A and B are shown apart, each in its own frame.
Chain A
Amino acid sequence: MSIDVLLQQIVNGLVVGSVYALVALGYTMVYGILQLINFAHGEIVMIGGLTSVFTSKWLLSMGVPSLLALLIAILVAMVVCAVVGVAIERVAYRPLRNAPRLAPLITAIGVSILLQQLAILVFGRNYFTFPELISKDPISLGPITVTMNEIVILMASVALMAALLWLVHNTKIGTAMRATAENQKVAGLMGIDINKIIAITFAIGSGLGAIAGVMVASNYGQAHYYMGFMLGLKAFTAAVMGGIGNLWGAMVGGLILGLVENVGLIFVRGDYKDIFAFVVLVLVLIFRPQGLIGERVAERA
Chain B
Amino acid sequence: MAKLFENKRNQMIGIVLLGVLILILPFLAGMLGQAWVRILNVTLLYVMLALGLNVVVGVAGLLDLGYVAFYAVGAYTWSLLASAHFNLHYPFWVLLPLGACLAALAGLMLGAPVLKLRGDYLAIVTLGFGEIVRILMNNFDKVGLPWSDETYNITNGPRGITGIDGLHFFGFELRKGLDVFGFNVTGLQLYYFVFLGFAILSVIGVYRLQHSRLGRAWQALREDEIAAKAMGINTRNIKLAAFGFGALTGGLAGGLFASMQGFVSPESFGLLESIMILAMVVLGGMGHIPGVILGAVLLSAMPEVIRYAADENVQQKIFGIVLIAPEVLRNLIFSLALILIMLFKPAGLWPSPEKK
Query: Which residues of A come within 8 Å of B, CB atoms?
Result: 31, 35, 37, 92, 95-96, 99-100, 102-107, 109-114, 116-118, 120-121, 233, 236-237, 240, 244, 269, 271-272, 274-275, 277-279, 281-282, 285-286, 289, 291, 299-301
A sample of 23 inter-chain contacts (CB < 8 A) reads A92-B339, A99-B346, A102-B282, A104-B342, A106-B283, A109-B279, A109-B338, A113-B334, A113-B338, A114-B332, A116-B331, A118-B332, A120-B325, A121-B328, A237-B124, A240-B121, A275-B135, A277-B128, A278-B128, A286-B114, A289-B117, A289-B121, A301-B230
Q: Which of B117, B139, B339 contacts A110 (CB 8 A)?
A: B339
Q: How far is the CB of A254 from chain B (nearest CB, A)?
A: 14
Q: Find out whether the CB atom of B135 lies under 8 angstroms from the CB atom of A106.
A: no
Q: Find out whether the CB atom of A96 lies under 8 angstroms from the CB atom of B342.
A: yes
Q: Which of B226, B275, B343 contacts A107 (CB 8 A)?
A: B343
- Best-buried of A95, A117, A282 by chain B (most CB within 10 Å): A117
Contacts of B120 in A (CB 8 A): 31, 35, 37, 240, 244
C-alpha spacing A114/B347, complex, angstroms: 22
Q: Find out whether the CB atom of A271 lies under 8 angstroms from the CB atom of B338.
A: no
C-alpha spacing A279/B129, complex, angstroms: 8
Q: Find out whether the CB atom of B328 lies under 8 angstroms from the CB atom of A120.
A: yes
C-alpha spacing A279/B278, complex, angstroms: 23
Contacts of A271 in B (CB 8 A): 135, 138-139
Q: Find out whether the CB atom of A301 lies under 8 angstroms from the CB atom of B227.
A: yes
Q: How far is the CB of A57 from chain B (nearest CB, A)?
A: 23
- If A102-B282, A103-B342, A103-B346 touch, does A109 touch B275 (CB 8 Å cutoff)? yes
Contacts of B286 in A (CB 8 A): 100, 102
Interface status of B304 (Cβ within 8 A of chain A) = no
- Best-buried of B116, B120, B139, B275 by chain A (most CB within 10 Å): B120
Contacts of A244 in B (CB 8 A): 120-121
C-alpha spacing A118/B337, complex, angstroms: 15
Contacts of B127 in A (CB 8 A): 233
Q: Find out whether the CB atom of A107 lies under 8 angstroms from the CB atom of B339.
A: yes
Task: Give A281's nearest chain B residue, CB to CB.
Answer: B128
- If A92-B339, A92-B343, A110-B339 touch, does A103 touch B282 (CB 8 Å cutoff)? yes
- If A272-B139, A275-B136 touch, does A106 touch B227 (CB 8 Å cutoff)? no
A99-B346, A236-B124 known; 11 other A-B pairs, CB under 8 Å? A102-B63, A104-B342, A106-B279, A107-B338, A240-B121, A271-B139, A278-B131, A282-B125, A282-B129, A286-B113, A301-B227
Task: Give A239's nearest chain B residue, CB to CB.
Answer: B124
Give the secondary structure class of A's interface: helix
Which of chain B's residues 50-66 have a Cβ closer than 8 Å to chain A? 57, 63
Task: Give B110's nearest chain A residue, CB to CB.
Answer: A282
Interface status of B336 (Cβ within 8 A of chain A) = yes
Contacts of B148 in A (CB 8 A): none
Q: Find out whether the CB atom of B123 lies under 8 angstroms from the CB atom of A37.
A: yes
C-alpha spacing A106/B57, complex, angstroms: 13
Query: Which residues of B come within 8 Å of A, CB atoms?
Result: 57, 63, 113-114, 116-118, 120-121, 123-125, 127-129, 131-132, 135-136, 138-139, 224-227, 230, 271, 275, 278-279, 282-283, 286, 324-325, 328, 331-332, 334-339, 342-343, 346-347
Q: How far is the CB of B323 from chain A (nearest CB, A)?
A: 10
Q: Which of B117, B325, B332, B346 contacts A285 (CB 8 A)?
A: B117
Q: Find out whether the CB atom of A95 lies under 8 angstroms from the CB atom of B131.
A: no
Contacts of B124 in A (CB 8 A): 236-237, 240, 281
C-alpha spacing A193/B156, complex, angstroms: 57
C-alpha spacing A284/B225, complex, angstroms: 23
Contacts of B325 in A (CB 8 A): 120
Q: How far is the CB of A35 from chain B (nearest CB, A)?
A: 8
C-alpha spacing A92/B338, complex, angstroms: 11
Q: Which of B116, B132, B226 contacts A275 (CB 8 A)?
A: B132
- Best-buried of B116, B227, B324 by chain A (most CB within 10 Å): B116
Task: Give A109's nearest chain B residue, CB to CB.
Answer: B275
C-alpha spacing A117/B275, complex, angstroms: 17
C-alpha spacing A102/B291, complex, angstroms: 15
Q: Which of B129, B224, B332 contacts A301 (CB 8 A)?
A: B224
Task: Give B116's nearest chain A residue, CB to CB.
Answer: A289
Q: Which of B125, B129, B227, B346 contacts A96 (CB 8 A)?
A: B346
Contacts of B335 in A (CB 8 A): 110-114, 117
C-alpha spacing A121/B325, complex, angstroms: 9
Q: How far is the CB of B294 from chain A (nearest CB, A)?
A: 15
C-alpha spacing A120/B114, complex, angstroms: 38
Contacts of A112 in B (CB 8 A): 335
The 3 closest A-B pairs by CB, nearest first: A278-B128, A99-B346, A110-B338
Contacts of A37 in B (CB 8 A): 120, 123
Contacts of A95 in B (CB 8 A): 343
Contacts of A99 in B (CB 8 A): 346-347
C-alpha spacing A144/B286, complex, angstroms: 54
C-alpha spacing A63/B112, complex, angstroms: 61
Contacts of B125 in A (CB 8 A): 281-282, 285
Q: How far is the CB of A120 from chain B (nearest CB, A)?
A: 5
- Best-buried of B121, B123, B328 by chain A (most CB within 10 Å): B121
Task: Give B123's nearest chain A residue, CB to CB.
Answer: A37
Contacts of A240 in B (CB 8 A): 120-121, 124
Contacts of A236 in B (CB 8 A): 124
Q: How far is the CB of B263 from chain A (nearest CB, A)?
A: 22
C-alpha spacing A300/B230, complex, angstroms: 13
C-alpha spacing A177/B127, complex, angstroms: 29
Contacts of A92 in B (CB 8 A): 339, 343
Contacts of B225 in A (CB 8 A): 299
C-alpha spacing A299/B119, complex, angstroms: 12
Q: How far is the CB of A111 from chain B (nearest CB, A)?
A: 6
Contacts of B224 in A (CB 8 A): 301
